[in-house]
Structure formats: structure tokens, C-alpha cells
Amino acid sequence: MTGPVSQPRKPVILTVDDDPAVSRAVARDLRRHYGEKYRIVRAESGSDALETLHELKLRGDTLAVFVADYRMPRMSGIEFLEEAMDIYPLARRVLLTAYADTHAAIEAINVVDLDHYLLKPWDPPEEKLYPVIDALLDAWQAAGDRVIPHTKVIGHPWNARSSQVREFLARNQLYYTWFRADEPEGQRLLEAAGEDGLTLPVIITEQGETLVDPADADLAATLGLTTTPAEDFYDLGVIGGGPAGLAAAVYGASEGLKTVLIERTATGGQAGQSSRIENYLGFPDGLSGAQLADRARRQAVKFDAELITAQEATALEVRGAARTVTLSDGRSIGARAVILATGVSYRQLPADGCGRLTGAGVHYGAATSIAAECDGEDVYIVGGANSAGQAAVNLSRHAKSVTLVVRGPSLESSMSYYLIQQVGTIDNIKVRTCTVVREACGGDHLEKLVLEDQRTGQTEEVTCGRMFVFIGAEPRTDWLDGVVARDDHGFVLAGPDLRNVCGWTLSRPPHHLETSVPGVFVAGDVRAESAKRVAAAVGEGSMAVMLVHRYLAEA
Ligand SMILES: Cc1cc2nc3c(=O)[nH]c(=O)nc-3n(C[C@H](O)[C@H](O)[C@H](O)COP(=O)(O)OP(=O)(O)OC[C@H]3O[C@@H](n4cnc5c(N)ncnc54)[C@H](O)[C@@H]3O)c2cc1C
């Protein structure tokens, strides 16, 4: 333990309005109803409010709800919320508008992921203001922002497990402060925790509990995520918490099926790692994968789906009418039907040195927690598809230079047109085509890469501290071996694709997304011949639930 824990300060509700009378009125109404549990902070311009936010953040305060006026001189409410989101991403967002500005407010729903727009005047507040704020405070509390800002992670940038833990926390939207073990503040914290720093990372929770290199499940449970199912038997078990699994959980639970979702790492899946999804219907300005995952998670929880994190499904068995799934902690759950939505995982780069340096400069995927630390560095991205392009655009905001290493002769065959255009307009992104990484070199961390030009066979050594790898993905479905029919690459076969496969035992043909095991369905990227897109995964997850109903009605 690190010693006595100070009383937590009240979370903040922040209001911004340039009209002093309105500003006072909204603060007064909020204080009257929420003053006991929340601190109401008032600002009269967007810039003042941002300054206040920075101060609150430095002091480790939490922020529950922003209420911002739309029409403010210099910085509009939407512009303010856009910046405020970067400082407090979990705070809920309300825009105060006049009737004439309703159109702008509706647009803001996409731009700043607005939760609600409130028409002025809001009298009586009991009818128009408090129900809205109550619902948002519930959502904010459910997201768990109360505990997390004070979690401290002490580690080292070149310690692979430190990188994994940071990524795990970031993807689960568990906020933490990072300290390097070789810097004075990190050393002070290690000393206070009674740790010598030989085993990293060390995590100190808000309550002062110390965890040394914890397993993901222990870390998740300590920080308040649900890691064990509440029941032994469900109507529907969904395996995998990416877009397909989350959609299945939302539809299953909202249609009255007792639903549990089992997720190995963090809900959101691959999509959760996307810096900007621009082709998902209904979001013309794009939205980040983290936002999509957060909304879907809240939606699933709202309908009472149970979301289990940091548990892997390791076996599937058929026991009469029940489908039994074994979990990584040895427990098992039964379900009347199962939807497999386990997606795909990054393929490993087969260059010398990569395995040893993974997490120490070599990263798979966007590694969102680390990306922001590439300030002034020359970073390399391997891959020529959309995920690599998105990462290049994102990293170009931090890094000195970003080099895309592409095996093919151009990006045209592998990347969407809109991304090629974006990449082309950013000065600090370079593209090296017909090039592969032969070797990753370094002592305890990545220092150099050996690149080979495939046209000439010539190799070149380049200085590089960080390499992000996006060279495609493959399903990890070995745990289904001998139970569910898969194609040669491990993708799960379903419906009409099962035609030439033995094992189907019923007289009726399999339903469209049904696997070789009746009552076990598949959705999203893990399905053979799937589209590998967010919208397709969401569509299949929803459709699989409809087929589950059909199966259960027949059973
Ligand atoms: C960086 C990046 C950017 C992208 N950008 C876009 C884009 O802009 N537009 C677009 O349409 N698509 C995009 N994609 C593709 C899109 O994200 C995927 O098509 C989509 O996420 C597939 O959803 P899914 O639910 O099928 O699988 P996944 O998202 O892969 O989710 C599967 C989940 O299952 C979990 N899991 C796996 N095995 C187990 C197990 N045994 N037990 C428990 N859990 C398990 C995984 O941890 C994972 O969370 C992007 C992908 C990446 C990587």
C-alpha cells in the first residue's frame, strides 16, 4: 500500500455561456439539484472554459458533463466541445441552443459526438433539464471515469509488458498516468510502493493497491471491469467484442435474450483501434473507433447484456441442446445458442529481430497509447492497406516523419482512394513502394531497420525507434478445431459455404450464418468470405441474432 488515500473530490459539471444571466441561471439550476454530489463550475467563454479544464486535469479532477451554449463569440459551443473532448473524452456533452439553431445542433451530433441538445429556455428544469442530465450522469458513471484518472502505471518504454499493459488500459478506456521507472517521479512512486523496479510494470490504483506485472484479468478486475459471468447458463453466448459481437449483444439483449459477451482483451475489437472510421453509414465526418466502441458498449449494457472482459474462450462443446464454452480461467458457461465473432488478429512480421523487439519499438496495430509519444521521431509503418494509411495520417501529427513501407508497386491496389489522397497531401509522410523490412536491430529496443528494395535487391539501414506493423490479419480459431468446420486459413464456414463439407447432421439446410454446428453462428471478419468492414460486421452480428431466434423456435 502507498499510505493513506485522500478523500476523492467531487466530479465537476462544467457550464459555458457568454451571457452572464443565462450562465448564472443554468449554474443555479444545476447546483440546486446536483450540488451535493457534483461541483458546478461556470465559465463565460470557450477559452476560459478550456483553461479551467486544463487546471482541473492537472489536479486530477474528473469531469462528468459539459453544458455549452452553441452561440458564443470567438469560439462556438461546438468548437469548444471539440477541444474539450480531447481533455476529458469520457465526459458527456450537451449543447444549449435556441430553436433557430436546431439544425446546427443536429449536425454537432456527428462532429462532437454530442449526447444531447437542449432548447432554451429549459423551464421547468424538473421536466426538461434534470432527466437529461440524470441520464448522462448515469452513462458517465457506468463508463467508470470516477476511479481511473488516479491509476498510475510505472514502467519503461522498452519493457514489452509495460507497452501491453498501457495498450490494454487504453483500449478499455481505463485512464491512467504513465511514469517512467528511470525518472525521479517514477522512482519516488516505486519507493513508496516498496518495489525495487526489477519487475515492471508496477500499477498503483487510486485506492493505493499495488499490482506488479499483473495478468490482464487481475488488472481488469481490480480496476472495476467485469471479468466473470454472473450466471452459468444463458440464452445467447457471444464470443468476441468487436463490432460484430457488440451488435449481436445489443440485438440479442434488446430482444429479450439473456445474453453474455466474452471478450479476450477489450471491447471494440480491431475497429476500436481505428483513429478515424470514415465509411460507416450515418457518420459523414467519421468517428474514432474508441467512440464507436464506447457507444456500442453503453448500448449493450443499457439492454442488460453482460459484458465480460479479459476472458478468452478456449473451447466449445456440444452437450445436448446446450453449447458449452470454456473460458481461460477454467470456468465454463452454457448457452442455448452461440455467436462466434472473434474477428482476426494481426499477422506477425517475419523479419529477423521482430519477435524479440515486439513491445520495445516494434508494435502491431496502431498502439494508440504509444502513438502520441512519437513527437519528433522518424517512425516507420509497414503495410499498404487502409489500416496502415489511417495510422500514417494519425502519426504524422506527432512524428517528425512517417515512412510507409509497402511491398507492392503502389498503394492503389490496397488502399482506398480517399486515404491515398489524404496521405498524398501530408508533407511528412513518405511512401517507399516495392520495399520490405528484412531485419529489426537493437539491444533492448528497436534502433535500426534493414530495408530491401525488391526491384534491385539492394538493402539499406535506416535509423528507426518505432515501427508499427499492419500486414494483414488472420483468424485465431484453433480452439474450434474438430468442432466447427473452417477453411484452409482458419476462417469459419457458414450457411451455403458448408455445401461440400461433411458434418452437418440435420435434415434442414444450415441457416445463412450458421456454422457446421447447429445453433452456433458466425458473424464478422472471422467468417469465411466476409467483407472485413465495420458495417458488414455490425450487419452480420445483428442478422445472426435474427437467425438465432429462428433456430430457437425450431429447437
Ligand atoms: C486499424 C484499423 C482500422 C480500420 N479501419 C476501418 C474503417 O475505417 N472502416 C471499416 O469499415 N473497417 C475498418 N477496419 C476493419 C474493421 O475494424 C473490421 O472489419 C471489424 O472490426 C471486424 O469486426 P469483428 O467484430 O468481426 O472483429 P474484430 O473487430 O476483430 O473483433 C473481434 C474481437 O474478438 C476478440 N476475440 C478473439 N478471439 C477471442 C476468443 N477466443 N475469446 C474471446 N474474445 C476473442 C478479439 O479480442 C476482438 O476484440 C479497420 C481495422 C483496423 C485494424
314-334 tens-digit pLDDT: 999 999 999 999 999 999 999
The torsion angles phi and psi of 96, rounded to 5 degrees, stand at: -90, 125
The reported pLDDT for the residue numbered 8 is: 59
The reported pLDDT for the residue numbered 144 is: 65
Q: Is the CB of 475 under 6 A from ligand 1?
A: no
Q: Is the CB of 539 under 6 A from ligand 1?
A: no
Q: Decide if pLDDT at 293 tops 50.
A: yes
Kindly list the distances between the CA atom of residue 358 and the CA atoms of 102, 148, 473, in Å, as whole numbers in the listed order. 50, 27, 17
Q: Decide if pLDDT at 86 tops 90.
A: no
* Residue-by-residue DSSP string for 18-76: SSHHHHHHHHHHHHHHHTTTSEEEEESSHHHHHHHHHHHHHTT--EEEEEEES--SSS-
Q: Decide if pLDDT at 149 tops 60.
A: no
Q: Decide if pLDDT at 55 tops 80.
A: no
Q: What is the enclosing helix (H) or strand (E) of 440?
A: strand 435-441
344 CA distance to ligand 1 middle (Å): 6
Q: Are 242 and 269 in contact (CB under 8 A)?
A: yes
Give per-residue pLDDT as tens, 185-196: 888 888 878 899
Kindly list the distances between the CA atom of residue 166 and the CA atoms of 157, 215, 343, in Å, as whole numbers in the listed order. 10, 13, 22
Q: Is the CB of 84 under 6 A from ligand 1?
A: no
The reported pLDDT for the residue numbered 14 is: 96
pLDDT-derived band at 171 (thresholds 50, 70, 90) equals: confident
Least confident piece of the model among 140-149, 186-195, 371-380, 466-475:
140-149
- Pairwise CA distance, residues 308 & 229, whole Å: 6
pTM listed for this prediction: 0.76
Q: Decide if pLDDT at 82 tops 80.
A: yes
Q: Decide if pLDDT at 60 tops 70.
A: no
Range of 68-72, 164-168, 367-371, 513-517 with top mean pLDDT: 513-517
260 CA distance to ligand 1 middle (Å): 19
Q: Is the CB of 381 under 6 A from ligand 1?
A: no
How much of the chain is in helix, strand and coil states, percent to nearest 5?
35, 25, 40
The cell numbers describing 63, all together, are 469531469
Q: What is the mean pLDDT of residues 401-429?
A: 95
The reported pLDDT for the residue numbered 148 is: 42
134 CA distance to ligand 1 middle (Å): 33
Q: How would you classify the pairing of strands 322-327 and 332-340? A: antiparallel
The reported pLDDT for the residue numbered 1 is: 31
| Mean of per-residue pLDDT scores for the chain | 91
The reported pLDDT for the residue numbered 406 is: 97
The reported pLDDT for the residue numbered 56 is: 77
pLDDT-derived band at 272 (thresholds 50, 70, 90) equals: confident
Name which residue sits closest to atom 30 of ligand 1, judged by CA: 343
Which of the pair, 466 or 192, is modelled with greater confidence? 466
Q: Is the CB of 415 under 6 A from ligand 1?
A: no
- Closest ligand 1 atom, CA of 277? 8
Q: Is the CB of 527 under 6 A from ligand 1?
A: no
Q: Are 396 and 426 in contact (CB under 8 A)?
A: yes
Q: Decide if pLDDT at 152 tops 80.
A: yes
- Closest ligand 1 atom, CA of 262? 43
Q: Ligand 1, from 263, 344, 534, 542: best to mutate by most atoms within 8 Å of Cβ? A: 534
Place of cell 479544464: 53
For a pLDDT cut of 70, what percent of the chain falls above it? 96
- Closest ligand 1 atom, CA of 328? 42
Q: Decide if pLDDT at 16 tops 80.
A: yes
Kindly list the distances between the CA atom of residue 495 and the CA atoms of 40, 526, 533, in Å, as whole numbers in the listed order. 56, 14, 20
128 CA distance to ligand 1 middle (Å): 39
Least confident piece of the model among 196-205, 337-346, 364-373:
364-373
The reported pLDDT for the residue numbered 3 is: 34
Q: Is the CB of 347 under 6 A from ligand 1?
A: no
- Pairwise CA distance, residues 59 & 56, whole Å: 5
The reported pLDDT for the residue numbered 118 is: 87
- Pairwise CA distance, residues 392 & 398, whole Å: 10
Q: How would you classify the pairing of strands 459-463 and 176-180? A: unpaired
- Pairwise CA distance, residues 248 & 238, whole Å: 7
Q: Ligand 1, from 228, 246, 270: best to mutate by most atoms within 8 Å of Cβ? A: 270
- Pairwise CA distance, residues 247 & 250, whole Å: 5
- Closest ligand 1 atom, CA of 271? 17
305 CA to centre of own chain:
18
* Residue-by-residue DSSP string for 255-322: TT--EEEE-SS-TTTTGGG-S-B--STT-TT-B-HHHHHHHHHHHHHHTT-EEE-S--EEEEEEETTE
Least confident piece of the model among 350-354, 366-370, 471-475, 497-501:
366-370
- Closest ligand 1 atom, CA of 541? 25
Q: Ligand 1, from 164, 274, 382: best to mutate by most atoms within 8 Å of Cβ? A: 274
267 CA distance to ligand 1 middle (Å): 9
Least confident piece of the model among 70-79, 271-280, 298-307:
271-280
Kindly list the distances between the CA atom of residue 454 and the CA atoms of 79, 406, 407, 409, 411, in Å, as whole numbers in the listed order. 47, 10, 8, 10, 16
The reported pLDDT for the residue numbered 147 is: 40
Give per-residue pLDDT as tens, 100-147: 777 777 777 777 778 888 888 888 999 889 999 999 999 888 876 554
